[in-house]
Amino acid sequence: MKSDRDLDALEIADKQSATLNLVSLGEVMLRLDPGDMRIATTRQFQVFEGVGEYSVALGLRRCSAQRTAIVTVLADNAAGRLVEDLVLQGGVDTRYLRWLPYDGVGRSRRNGLNFTDRAFGVRAALGCSDRGNTAVSQIRSDRLGCNIFECRSQVASYRRHLLRAVGIDSAGMELVNSAAPVSLV
């Protein structure tokens, strides 16, 4: 039996033959930056897209010209379309972006917001996230209409181990566990 540390079990395609070099699964939020002001006292914000999984895809796209994509779900409203536009401007592929209907007030689903004060001197950066009922928190494999994971047992086991290590929630684990044999490469 191979251990989780046995990377020989992974068959990684070379860059030229791969359709995508990286696919990230997770939320893309609107990040609102008050610049040199504080969240509580500012009257204007700069808007960016962000959050860890997406930032990895964006960084690889921009810094090393890797072909990357994001698997995410957004509420279908103006804020969601802004997120989509920012992702497209960053060059990250949106083929796995899915939309859920918006109810007009965000009771059933909405798009996440993140407010971040910059660090100054010895004061660390301060953040405030507004993530309740986000569309991506309702992600299910049947809503994606696609499956991006290969279903080789060692690879699936290794991915589950990695996803648990980085804190993927039960919805993300459901997606990984329901993987069917499909390959991007």
* Tens-place pLDDT, residues 146-157: 555 433 333 344
CA pair distance 119, 123, nearest whole angstrom? 6
Q: Which of 12-16, 111-115, 134-138, 176-180 has the highest mean pLDDT?
A: 111-115
Q: Write down the domain spans for the chain.
A: 14-148
Identify which has the larger pLDDT, 118 or 2: 118
Lowest mean pLDDT among 39-48, 85-94, 173-182: 173-182
Residue 182 pLDDT > 70, yes or no?
Answer: no
Q: What is the pLDDT of residue 163?
A: 53
Strand-by-strand arrangement of the 22-25 sheet: 22-25, 68-75, 97-100
CA pair distance 90, 50, nearest whole angstrom? 11
Q: Is the pTM of this model over 0.85?
A: no
Other residues' Cβ atoms within 10 Å of the Cβ of residue 47: 13
CA pair distance 24, 159, nearest whole angstrom? 12
* Tens-place pLDDT, residues 111-123: 999 999 988 889 8
Residue recorded with tokens 């994001």: 70
Q: What is the pLDDT of residue 115?
A: 95
Q: For 14-148, give the CATH class.
A: alpha beta
Share of the chain above pLDDT 70, in %: 65
